[in-house]
Amino acid sequence: MLTAFIANAQKKTFKVLAIYEGGGHHVEYSKRAKVWLNSLAVKRGFTVDYIQNTDDIDSAYLSKYQLFIQLDYPPYGWKDKAVTAFEQYIKQGRGGWIGFHHATLLGEFDGFQMWDWFYHFMGDIRFKNYIETFASGEVKVEDQQHPVMKGIPQKFLIKQEEWYTYDKSPRENVNVLASVDEKSYKPNGDIKMGDHPVIWTNPKYKARNVYIFMGHSPNLFDNPAYVRLFTNAIFWASGR
């Protein structure tokens, strides 16, 4: 019995790499995410390592991890070897990926060019605008059968977010799990895109992957639906 217990425990153990920006106005979200992730890791039997840049990332480095979490870290400014290693990691299904918020900050930013591969990975979208003054919004689950959405209410409120808009909806290129109802924005405004997915996966890639737009306010971790969503995403994307 003890041998079986140990074998089962070892089977469930996995390693997570999380990258986040060390400064800027998203750092409070990342700080809260680290506290929450560390607590969940202890409870659920996995480990998390954190980095704040891509300097050390190559194929050998990524091979140690079964899941890569991109916490508010943009898809530009990556070292060349990190770009190559990450693309292989996803294309070859070497591990899973969860991206939040800044992962769709796609375009020419801070003197860097568009990462074309990542542009396709995210459904051929380009960042267009955002609600700088923030708004609450109601998220509607579209694919209740997907494991990432297990136990999530069909509708749940995000109280504070800087909702991004893109040059088009990614829907035709991805599997949409949830979208935001722009008519529910409070306060209402003009920064809208119509069909507005906020959670999706891209089944064209071998790695299990999920993008979750919401990831600005640390108060998201007080939202039971968001916490369940994040938890589900970890165990689905890592293949657990």
pTM: 0.94
Q: What per-residue confidence (pLDDT) applies to 12?
A: 63
What order do you get walking across the sheet with 197-201 strand by strand? 47-51, 15-20, 67-71, 96-100, 209-212, 197-201, 175-186, 135-141, 155-161
pLDDT, averaged per 10 consecutive residues of the chain (240 residues), comes to 42 88 83 97 97 98 98 95 98 98 96 97 98 97 98 98 98 98 97 98 98 96 98 97
Topology, domain 2-127+194-237: Rossmann fold (3.40.50)
- Count Cβ atoms below 10 Å from residue 99 Cβ, excluding itself: 25
Q: Count Cβ atoms within 10 A of the Cβ of residue 192 and give its class: 0-12 exposed, 13-18 middle, 19 or more buried.
A: middle
Determine contact, residues 179/206, Cβ cutoff 8 Å. no
Q: What per-residue confidence (pLDDT) applies to 7?
A: 40
The two structure tokens encoding residue 70: 């991109």
